[in-house]
Amino acid sequence: MLRLTKKADYGLIALKYLAEQSTNGAQSAKDIAEAYHIPPQLLAKILQTLAKSGLLVSHAGTNGGYALARSAHDISAFEVIRAIDGPLFITSCITIHGTCDLHGTCTIKEPLRKVNDSIKELLSGIRVSDLIEPIEDSPAAALAGGLVSIAL
């Protein structure tokens, strides 16, 4: 259930790496790929997507590479996933026609949308800076992540 695509997974790994190495200037796609043993060409394409979305800045040429466009503290996991996997959402009702086949008959559409929003809130509360140093169950953790209440 609720599978996150591998591309998004790779994207988050790369983001985290770039956040850690932010002092060393730009990092090439090849370097990141080798550091984690993931297909270089695939990661390159992912980074391009992220760059087009404005999350990364790219610099071509020798000693070029990618760097974070904003501070690691200011990039949410939700943005990353949305940039890579597109605005797909939990309601599978998005067919090619743009709308669900069961336009009026589906009765659980609205409750699921609420759930969807909650998950969105949850992911928006997670920033890449949080991935670097996993804050254990400290009081600050609840504050950092935020509280998500699900109301049907």
Partner DNA sequence: AGCAACTCCGACCGCATTGGTCTTGCTTAC
Partner DNA sequence: GTAAGCAAGACCAATGCGGTCGGAGTTGCT
Question: Which CB atom, from 16 or from 57, has the smaller least distance to ligand FES?
Answer: 16
As a whole number of angstroms, the distance between CA 151 and CA 72 comes to 31
Q: Contact positions toward DNA, by CB under 7 A? A: 5-7, 10, 28-30, 38-39, 41-42, 44-45, 47-48, 51-52, 58-66, 85, 88, 92, 96
CB of residue 57 to a second copy, shortest distance in Å = 22
Q: Are 72 and 127 in contact (CB under 8 A)?
A: yes
Question: DSSP assignment of 53-82, as one string?
Answer: TTSEEEE-STT-EEEESS-GGG-BHHHHHH
**Does 99 engage in binding with a second copy (CB under 8 A)?**
no
**Does 117 engage in binding with ligand FES (CB under 6 A)?**
no
Question: Which CB atom, from 2 or from 60, has the smaller least distance to a second copy?
Answer: 2
CB of residue 143 to ligand FES, shortest distance in Å = 26
Stretch that binds a second copy, among 41-49, 51-59, 61-69, 79-87 (CB under 8 A): 79-87
129 membership: H or E segment, kind and range: helix 128-132
Length of the chain, in residues: 152
Nearest CA-CA partner of 122 in 92, 69, 81: 81
**Does 91 engage in binding with ligand FES (CB under 6 A)?**
yes
Instruction: Establish how many alpha carbons lie within 13 A of residue 26's alpha carbon, considering only the half-sphere containing its beta carbon.
Output: 18
Q: Are 106 and 100 in contact (CB under 8 A)?
A: yes
Question: Which CB atom, from 78 or from 148, has the smaller least distance to DNA?
Answer: 78
Stretch that binds ligand FES, among 57-65, 103-111, 119-127, 139-147 (CB under 6 A): 103-111
**Does 106 engage in binding with a second copy (CB under 8 A)?**
yes
